[in-house]
């Protein structure tokens, strides 16, 4: 059914901290690895070990450089993971002619039922975020599942019931939770850090939020100050005084 469900109270999604993402692509690799073997896999590649491999990834990490508005301010480099934002009112769901593309009423996750997908690619045309990639090998559309086969998986320890990308991030730049609950850790993080939507002008109301890089510390742009001679008080220890004397020769 590709009609959107009534607005869901539970909105599972990700919060991505652009301040601390180091662009290591671990999230993207972990995603590919989990989903290749998970319930929505495989994610086959054409020519995987050849010159031009081509295959579906649910998560892609871009790197941008920002030329600041103020003259002389340092340029910023921002690593930017991009995946499905599990929008509240996405067109990728409503354009689907078969009912394969759907948004879950219980938690808002947007999924593709690969047994119904005819591979018309229209949903990927409708998504401005590039969240959907078509698999030439499978003849169907594939996308981020928010690791729906992990987060409810009772054979896992509670702590492991998180998306693979969140588990893999070495800098804890990715957070998973219910963005429909104002008291959840992720909602508080968004409120505190001014988390924002990508392309709000499209009107799809993404659930996933991005946390902006923090302002650079003062002095970053200033001329480096000449190194000052350290003044150390060695008067208390004769041994240190002797070492200082020897090394200072």
Is the bond leading into 21 cis (omega within 30 degrees of zero)? no
Max CA-CA distance within the chain? 85
Between 141 and 151, CB nearer to other proteins: 141
Could you give phi then psi for residue 246, rounded to 5 degrees? -65, -45
DSSP symbol at 201: G
Q: Would you say 14 or 151 has its CB closer to other proteins?
A: 14
Sign of dihedral through CA atoms 190, 192, 197, 198? negative
Distances, alpha carbon 146 to alpha carbons 63, 91, 92, 160, in Å: 22, 18, 16, 13
The first and second tokens of residue 231, run together, are: 């003044």
In whole angstroms, the minimum distance from the beta carbon of 23 to other proteins comes to 8
CB of 247 to other proteins, least distance (A): 44
Under 8 Å CB-to-CB from 10, ≥6 apart: which residues?
106, 107, 108, 178, 180, 181
User: Smaller CB distance to other proteins: residue 151 or 174?
Assistant: 174
CA atoms within 13 Å, Cβ hemisphere of 154:
0
Nearer to other proteins, 23 or 42 (CB): 23
CA gap 158, 105 in Å, rounded = 23
How many whole angstroms separate alpha carbon 218 and alpha carbon 227? Answer: 18
Least separation in angstroms between residue 182's CB and other proteins is: 21
Quote the least distance from Cβ 205 to other proteins, whole Å: 13
CB of 96 to other proteins, least distance (A): 6
129 vs 176, beta carbon nearer other proteins: 129
**Phi-psi region for residue 146, left (φ > 0), alpha (ψ -120 to 50) or beta?**
left
Q: Please name the residue that has the structure tokens 């594939």.
A: 142
Q: Which of 119/161 has CB closer to other proteins?
A: 119
Q: At closest approach, how far in Å is the CB of 185 from other proteins? A: 21
Minimal distance, residue 76 CB to other proteins, in Å: 6
| Closer residue to other proteins, CB minimum distance, 37 or 130 | 130
């Amino acid at each position: 059914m590709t009609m959107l469900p009534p607005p869901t109270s539970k909105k599972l999604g990700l919060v991505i901290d652009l301040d601390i993402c180091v662009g290591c692509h671990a999230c993207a690799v972990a995603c590919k690895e989990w989903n290749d073997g998970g319930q929505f896999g495989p994610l086959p590649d054409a020519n995987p070990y050849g010159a031009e491999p081509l295959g579906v990834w649910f998560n892609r990490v871009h790197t941008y450089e920002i030329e600041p508005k103020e003259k002389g301010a340092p340029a910023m480099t921002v690593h930017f993971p991009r995946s499905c934002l599990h929008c509240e009112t996405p067109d990728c769901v409503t354009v689907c002619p078969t009912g394969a593309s759907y948004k879950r009423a219980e938690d808002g996750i947007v999924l593709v039922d690969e047994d119904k997908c005819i591979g018309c690619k229209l949903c990927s045309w409708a998504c401005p975020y590039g969240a959907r990639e078509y698999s030439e090998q499978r003849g169907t559309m594939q996308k981020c599942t928010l690791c729906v086969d992990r987060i409810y998986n009772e054979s896992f320890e509670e702590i492991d019931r998180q998306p693979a990308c969140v588990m893999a991030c070495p800098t804890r730049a990715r957070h998973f939770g219910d963005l429909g609950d104002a008291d959840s850790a992720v909602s508080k993080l968004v409120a505190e850090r001014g988390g924002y939507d990508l392309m709000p002008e499209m009107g799809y109301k993404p659930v996933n939020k991005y946390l902006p890089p923090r302002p650079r510390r003062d002095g970053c742009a200033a001329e480096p100050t000449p190194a000052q001679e350290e003044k150390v008080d060695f008067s208390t220890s004769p041994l240190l005084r002797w070492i200082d004397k020897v090394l200072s020769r």
